[in-house]
Structure 1
């Protein structure tokens, strides 16, 4: 175990710019509607995580939105943060370079109706976050907003809402990030409104885990340590919300969103290369999840590096993410996981397009209104539990 392992609890470049086919936003009616949209009808969302920087530009449609362009780059902003709670100069340089690209792309679509740029766990943790925020503004012109773990959890749920099965009244959404992992319990009421009943934020993600336990292949001891510590936190969540029996009775839909989750879907489907349209929204049984995790473990580091849907940049991170998924699946009797290639960015877009304020976590209220009938976010405070 690395000396940094105790801190996990509290020249890498991947460029991708494309105009994707988001299948659920591209039915014939929506495509026809998009033809009437003007270039200045665009909204922009940036999600700056511990591991990657991601941008999406989209236009609203009657029921959702049409994605115009996306950009993604692995920057590892949180690289080494477990050793001193500071963003390193190389990580800052990589990230600002990526944000300059984001700024240039956004300028191509000006005037943008609304945009929001959020930063998550690495910036929450970094002692030099203010200096980084100033450097970002000076070099890119972008205004960065460091959001709380509560807001991060809420946006992930909102982004995944198109995948909610309305016949199942509750959902457990987990989002494995680079520096933290958010797990949210949501409920859909009889009137179609959705609330977050509760959430827990694990103070670690794939980057901090892989740095705390370095090496090409995570040892069995390290793997089991993460699983055990995760389950201890889950037990506190279970003690408060008592969801094990509901999961056993298939009264709660499990939705996972993260790079690791989508890798599991791609490996399960034996895709020759990653295909979002094939992965987003598919459901894997609990036994399939276990089989895929074993398969990824057995690949070894070199095998994961060579795999077209994993690659060298994700070879260590995927194993770290598998520890959290295995902890979830062994702690709760999960029979199926819906895989989501969506999350915070999509949640930001839906928020902006529905002209709602960002603070849904009112003091003293445990359940929060997020969405109504797939079209509007609630503006009134919800009732008590």
Structure 2
């Protein structure tokens, strides 16, 4: 069994996973999530602010200490949409490198592939459409796991189509939904923008069929389940693989729009720091459901961190990963 630490820095959230991986599958994972809002103001300025960069660096310092104390011998660090978009990402990468990391800004196609790899562990060889709904982008991937007949118990990854769409909770919020309470016509405009972007991306998939099973991961998706059930405290075991019908997503969108941000923050099932962007996130997922024609989505607690842990462990063990990508690993001291 191989233990690895993985740090992923997104537009809204920075996350740590310390995972034990055996036979190419995650056997145990401890996760920590912190809302750092790296992408705050990025859509308008094109830059990561000094304040946002400082928040992320402080968070990563704490994560490295946690990972070392948890006995992880190696660590990797990826950055996604906000770092891809910002003109000054190098400043943050330099700060992270000073901490001994080898930070990597990964392409949307890699992000989508890692997420699919992590999510698909729970679905055998079933064909899936996996959506990673983030703060700055949503990654869509269609594919399935495949069995390796020459190595029983092993598997591969067959991806028919992967696409990163620049639609996410913070991007929708800053473009359309910054004011709260939010008028219905403004919500409709944000939702229509997201639907058009998803529909355009899906139209480019060629002859690849859209599977019947839509699995959505990310902070908005898990919060939707918690809000719908009024969870307090949050229970990841309840949320994981929960099915949520489209009508429930649309009902929550309608319910939250007339509320102020402080009122949204008081609802059971939502982190207070997520309240400023939750309406944008729900509008994005509502639009995704319409664009795909899905009547429900399955919500997964598994995500990019699971796929990243699998690839990191494969690199440590010197064996091929399910797809041709290796993270930059460093020894924790």
TM-score by length of 1: 0.74
3-state SS, counterpart of residue 155 of structure 1? helix
- Match for residue 287 of structure 2? 327
* 1:285 matched residue in structure 2: 245
| CA deviation after TM superposition for structure 1 residue 193, in Å | 4.7
Matched, 1:240 2:204: yes
**Matches of 1:335 and 1:153, distance apart in 2:** 23
CA change 1:177–1:121 in 2 (3 A) is: same
Contact 1:54-1:72 within 8 A present in 2 as well: yes
Q: In the alignment, is residue 48 of structure 1 matched against residue 9 of structure 2?
A: yes
- Matched positions, count: 315
Query: Are 2:119 and 2:303, in contact at CA under 8 Å, matched by a contact in 1?
Result: yes
Counterpart Cα distance in 2 of 1:172 and 1:158: 12
Preserved contact between residue 42 and residue 48 of structure 2 (Cα < 8 Å): yes
The question of 1:80 aligning with 2:41 is answered: yes
Residue 218 of structure 1: CA displacement? Answer: 3.1
Pick aligned residue for 2:322 from 377, 381, 385: 377
Q: What is the match of residue 216 of structure 2? A: 256
Alignment match, 2:313: 353
What's the CA shift string for 1:212-264, capped at 9, x where partnerless? 231223332332222222222233333333689x66xxx42100001111111
Q: Secondary structure at the match of 1:354?
A: helix
Distance 1:161 1:209, change over 3 A: same
Q: Structure 2 stretches of 5 or more lacking a match?
A: 149-154, 325-333
Which residue number corresponds to residue 171 of structure 2? 208
Q: What is the CA-CA distance between 1:101 and the residue it aligns to?
A: 0.4
1:197 positional shift: 1.5
Distance 1:52 1:337 in 2: 22
Give the whole-Å Cα distance in 1 for the aligned partners of 2:46 and 2:6. 26
> Which residue among 196, 209, 225 is the counterpart of 2:159?
196
Q: Report the CA distance shift for 1:45/1:296 in structure 2 as closer, same or farther (over 3 A).
A: same
> Which residue among 301, 308, 312 is the counterpart of 1:341?
301
- Rounded Cα–Cα distance in structure 2 between residues aligned with 1:189 and 1:59: 22
- Cα deviations by residue, 1:153-211 (Å, 9 ceiling, x for unpaired): 11111110123264x4x211111111111112224568775422112322132122222
Residues 25-52 of structure 1, C-alpha deviations (whole Å, 9 max, x = no match): xxxxxxxxxxxx7xxx421111101111
Counterpart Cα distance in 2 of 1:149 and 1:62 = 27
Distance 1:305 1:243, change over 3 A: farther
Change (3 A) 1:294 1:242: farther
Is 1:126–2:83 an aligned residue pair?
no
Q: Which runs of 5+ in 1 are unaligned?
A: 1-36, 358-370, 380-385
Partner of residue 172, structure 1: 129
- CA gap 1:108/1:301 in 2 versus in 1, 3 angstroms: closer
Q: Which residue of 1 aligns with 2:183?
A: 219
Q: C-alpha displacement at 1:300, in angstroms?
A: 5.1
Give 1:151 shift: 0.6
Once structures 1 and 2 are overlaid, which stretch shifts more, 328-337 or 117-126? 328-337
Which residue in the other structure is 2:329 paired with?
none
Cα 1:341–1:283 change in 2 (3 A) is same
Larger Rg: 1
1:17 corresponds to which residue? Answer: none
Structure 1 contact 202–230 (Cα < 8 Å) conserved: no
Q: 1:187 and 1:57, CA in 2 relative to 1: closer, same or farther beyond 3 A?
A: closer
Mapped partners of 2:212, 2:239: distance in 1: 21
CA contact (8 A) 2:24 2:314 kept: no
> Deviation string for 1:341-376 (max 9, x for gaps)?
12111110111223499xxxxxxxxxxxxx9xxxx7
Aligned-pair Cα RMSD in Å: 2.7
Cα distance in 2 between the residues matched to 1:289 and 1:343: 20
1:309 is paired with a residue of what secondary structure? Answer: coil
In the alignment, the residues of structure 1 paired with residue 189 and residue 253 of structure 2 have an alpha-carbon distance, to the nearest angstrom, of 17
Aligned partners of 1:42 and 1:109 also within 8 Å: no
TM-score by length of 2: 0.84
